[in-house]
């Protein structure tokens, strides 16, 4: 059957275009395969020395390694928990130079020469830190996943209040800050307990604060 000239031209154009597209795709794939894979930006490593729980540690770390992963994966200090990995739950809280930080949001290479204290550095099963003992006495945990971060934060809360560091609920900035329930709850609000042991946690912190007066 003789096809109209218009259809023959369109069919020929389609075939030529398809062949050209296939050739271009094959060329692009070949060129991509031959291109050397570049190292991701920031993939370099550096030696980082820090004091962790009183011991000097030197680690060879990828620049992208968080302090949390350095502690858990490289030093095997798994007491510090990885919860949200976005700095929202507080399970990864540790102390750095006396200040609490969310270790999932901090790069390990930023802590050259710093002193880091994790839950493992606070006490032992035979000699618990007073805050650890208070959490046990007041049932300040249930599943226990958030507890290491809760305890590290709780110790920092007492220090912050005594140092006169105000919070969002501090009403009088000219007088010593009271170790009150609202102050403690506000300062501990960054530590989430999905089991809901909040009232017991406040009781534990209040007891330790009273004993340390």
pTM of structure: 0.78
Structural tokens at position 47: 């030696």
Structural tokens at position 45: 């490593």
- For residue 130, give the H/E element and its range: helix 130-137
Q: Please state, in angstroms and rounded to a whole number, the distance separating the CA atoms of residues 169 and 164.
A: 13
The one-digit pLDDT tens for each residue of the chain (213 residues) are 555 555 455 666 656 667 667 776 776 677 666 655 555 555 689 999 999 999 999 999 999 999 999 999 999 999 999 999 999 999 999 999 999 999 999 999 999 999 999 999 999 999 999 999 999 999 999 999 999 999 999 999 999 999 999 999 999 999 999 999 999 999 999 999 999 999 999 999 999 999 775
């Amino acid at each position: 059957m003789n096809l109209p000239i218009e259809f023959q031209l369109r069919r020929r154009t389609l075939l030529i275009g398809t062949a050209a597209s296939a050739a271009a795709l094959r060329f692009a794939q070949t060129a991509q395969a031959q291109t050397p894979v570049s190292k991701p930006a920031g993939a370099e490593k550096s030696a980082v020395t820090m004091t962790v729980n009183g011991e000097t540690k030197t680690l060879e770390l990828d620049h992208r390694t968080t302090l949390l992963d350095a502690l858990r994966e490289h030093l095997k200090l798994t007491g510090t928990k990885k919860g949200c990995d976005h700095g929202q739950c507080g399970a990864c809280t540790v102390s750095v130079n006396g200040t609490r930080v969310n270790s999932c949001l901090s790069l390990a290479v930023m802590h050259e020469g710093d002193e880091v204290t994790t839950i493992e550095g606070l006490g032992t099963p035979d000699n618990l830190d007073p805050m650890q003992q208070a959490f046990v006495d007041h049932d300040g945990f249930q599943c226990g996943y958030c507890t290491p971060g809760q305890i590290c934060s709780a110790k920092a809360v007492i220090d912050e209040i005594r140092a006169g560091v105000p919070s969002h609920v501090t009403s009088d900035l000219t007088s010593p800050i009271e170790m009150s329930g609202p102050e403690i709850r506000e300062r501990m609000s960054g530590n989430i307990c999905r089991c809901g042991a909040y009232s017991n946690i406040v009781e534990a912190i209040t007891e330790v604060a009273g004993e340390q007066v």
